[in-house]
Amino acid sequence: MDEYNQAIGKYIVNADVLNAMSQDSIIMHPLPRLDEITTDVDLDPRAAYFRQAHNGVYVRGALLKYLLT
């Protein structure tokens, strides 16, 4: 936990970082986000974390079905 506390606020993806990234980059995050990604990144097509979370619902559902049947 100490390593996490030391890293808080040091690595933040914001508009400046987006401008430095290539157009074929993908931004992934396990969510929930705290201060690692600013909200102005959400509308960028490279932001895949909401799709990632949405697809995770189906993956977990399939795993539960497999395990329980």
Which CATH number does the domain housing residue 39 bear?
A: 3.40.50.1370
* Number of C-beta neighbours around residue 52 at 10 A: 15
In total, how many domains does the chain have?
1
CB 13 within 8 A of CB 37: yes
| Domain, as residue range, for 49 | 2-68
The pLDDT assigned to 34 comes to 86
In angstroms, the CA 56 to CA 69 distance is: 20
CB 63 within 8 A of CB 51: no
Q: For the chain, 69 residues long, give each residue's pLDDT as a single digit of tens.
A: 788 888 888 999 999 999 999 999 999 999 998 889 999 999 999 999 999 999 999 999 999 999 999
The pLDDT assigned to 9 comes to 86
The pLDDT assigned to 17 comes to 96
